[in-house]
Structure 1
Amino acid sequence: MLHDFVTSFYVVEAPRPLLDHTHPEWANIRLVLSGTWRTCPINGPADPIRSATIYGPTDRTRRVEADGGIMIGIGLTPVGWFRLIGADARDYANRVGYLGDVLGEDAATIVPDLLAFPDEAARIAYLTDLLEHRIGPPSHDEAMVRAIHTALLANDYTSVAALAETLQTSDRTLHRACLRSFGFSAKRLLRRQRFLRALEATSDHLDQPLSQVFGDEYYDQSHFNREFRQYMGMTPLAYFRSPRETLRRAAIERQRMIGGSLQGLHAPRAAVVP
């Protein structure tokens, strides 16, 4: 029942301190079961993560730090955001907030309930049941949201006008739908998806010159470097030389179980990523 709404459930267990950087992604729910976790935007101060947190859709990295501990995450598709959360996505774009602000009083009991279960499978079953009971009715523009999501994965569009023409809608209607359900304008989404495709391609071919890997996505190496700094806050070389213990493992598991190493590039499908 959640296949259209959840990209994956995932568990991050850090036996020692970690430092990593998220990629631009769709929205996530993150639940801290143990340890102290902090997050911050590019060049911003680190803030403690509350035990139950909602991460809005992002088009730039966030640094994640932990002294160690366990966190459970739930990736949401754009239509999943609308049906499970119900808030305007633009209000949460590149923001982190308390889960109770969107789920109400029930959010306060989620982590204590999770801690009472004996194993990971029981916790995922509990979260699945919780989300299934939150599924709201389809909105009048859900078909448009699904069509936009499919188009963003297709890699066929270089302009907003071309995307609007394919969807048989106006630029203005497309703009409103993207802001409300995806958090960003159509132009920013197309640019973000281009970066994610290039990031996924370069991650698999670090032994080759980058200009041979990202192909037509960018004009040249300097263009790619500028975009990389914009989204990840560092050069490609600095990023690929960083440990990336969490995101590297997550990418491998996503590819193995879901068929896409980055949340923003695979079609909706529910799975558990250990």
Structure 2
Amino acid sequence: MYHKVRPAIDHAIAPEQGVTREGQPLSYNRAPAPNLAPWVARLYVTKVAAPVDYTVQCGLFSDSAFLRIQLAGLWEAETATGRMEAGNAAIFCGPQSRRMPIRVTGSFISVGMSFRPGACTALRGPRVGDHVDRLVSTDVVAMPSDRMLALLEPHAEPEDWLLALENMVRRRIEHMNCPSPDPISARFEEISYRDPAMSIAEAASVCGVERRKLERVVSRDFGMAPKQVLRRARALDMASYLRGVADKDEADEMALRYYDESHLIHEFTQLFGMSPRQFAQTPQPILTLSLESRQARRLEALHRLEPGQARPWA
């Protein structure tokens, strides 16, 4: 097993939703309502207090497209198309192929919803492949930013915000009579959670399709090739373990997905821009929030954790 060091903590910030046993920040995140589960992967609210002039240097690394509504904080991101700055705004975020550097100044509040693979296709939304490693105002994808912001009452409770987002998606599904995403994408998503070391040939067999069809569907709904999706999933699971937001019982299994330690270090460094040890020894508050939400979603999808059940790292 890869030797894990205790993850560093940013003591200058105070997450309202508390911290893990190891002191890592937590958000309020949960599964969607059952009738939205085919399209929506996760919903979250993050509220963090920080000094007015304090800047968190961190990153984003999400394996799904998501809607992020920023209610406080000044955000900067180094995207595939250059630097983006935003205050209060609604942002459509494509999935990331690698860690995206970000900075946030002051206290921040973020409300968001991640989409399942194929959901953007089914909802007749933006083409995911066009937005990999990019952040754009929702104005660009036919969801006016000011209308998104108006959905959320500034002083409402986190659950009220999430219910408002769910109602927005529910109305769109009903109005457009949207189909569920392609079942091939749903099956491949499960493979990425359960066994991301699986070969693409075996994954195609499990999905019941020829390899070329799997590659075509995954490219359309995930925005990248199947091999990239699985490689990213391995790295995100390992990153979750290094930040202390993974089930420790899976630690050996996660490490064995790599041939040896040098393979792990090489792949991890390519995707995160730093070695596993550097990643653990550097505070990663915003990225850790994303990783924790993903691991909760993953364990629930694999039926290893019930929605609302206490998480192994909490």
Same fold (TM over 0.5): yes
Is 1:127 aligned to residue 165 of structure 2? yes
Equivalence for 2:268: 228
In 1, are the aligned partners of 2:300 and 2:307 still within 8 Å (CA)? Answer: no
Aligned length: 259
CA distance in 1, matches of 2:75, 2:121: 27
With structure 2 as the length reference, what TM-score do the two structures score? 0.71
In 2, are the aligned partners of 1:196 and 1:265 still within 8 Å (CA)? Answer: no
With structure 1 as the length reference, what TM-score do the two structures score? 0.81
Equivalence for 1:172: 212
* Of 68, 83, 99, the match for 1:30: 68
The CA deviation at 1:203 is: 3.8
List 4+ stretches of structure 1 deviating above 6 A: 268-271
Moved more, 49-58 or 153-162: 153-162
Q: Secondary structure in 1 aligned to 2:70? A: strand
CA distance in 1, matches of 2:155, 2:142: 21
Equivalence for 1:72: 111
Q: Secondary structure in 2 aligned to 1:134? A: helix
Equivalence for 2:150: 112
In structure 2, runs of 5+ residues without a counterpart are 1-34, 309-314
For 1:173, the aligned partner's letter is K
The CA deviation at 1:21 is: 1.8
For 2:208, the aligned partner's letter is Q
Equivalence for 1:47: 84
**How do residues 217-256 of structure 1 correspond to structure 2 at under 5 angstroms?**
217-249=257-289, 251=291, 254=293
Deviations 1:243-263 (A, max 9, x none): 2223435555x4xxxxx6276
In structure 1, runs of 5+ residues without a counterpart are 255-259
CA distance in 2, matches of 1:244, 1:215: 21
Q: Secondary structure in 1 aligned to 2:295? A: coil
The CA deviation at 1:228 is: 1.2
Equivalence for 1:138: 179
Residues 195 and 156 from structure 1, CA distance in 2 versus in 1: closer, same or farther, beyond 3 angstroms? Answer: closer
The CA deviation at 1:79 is: 3.4
In 2, are the aligned partners of 1:26 and 1:263 still within 8 Å (CA)? Answer: no
Residues 63 and 219 from structure 1, CA distance in 2 versus in 1: closer, same or farther, beyond 3 angstroms? Answer: same
In 2, are the aligned partners of 1:78 and 1:182 still within 8 Å (CA)? Answer: yes
Equivalence for 1:61: 99
The CA deviation at 1:265 is: 6.9
Residues 230 and 99 from structure 1, CA distance in 2 versus in 1: closer, same or farther, beyond 3 angstroms? Answer: same
The CA deviation at 1:59 is: 2.2
CA distance in 2, matches of 1:157, 1:238: 24
Equivalence for 1:81: 120
For 2:224, the aligned partner's letter is F
CA distance in 2, matches of 1:220, 1:21: 26
Report which of the two has the higher share of helix: 1
* Of 224, 242, 267, the match for 2:301: 267
Equivalence for 2:13: none
Q: Secondary structure in 2 aligned to 1:25? A: coil
Residues 263 and 121 from structure 1, CA distance in 2 versus in 1: closer, same or farther, beyond 3 angstroms? Answer: closer
In 1, are the aligned partners of 2:64 and 2:94 still within 8 Å (CA)? Answer: yes
Q: Percent identity?
A: 22
In 1, are the aligned partners of 2:44 and 2:162 still within 8 Å (CA)? Answer: no
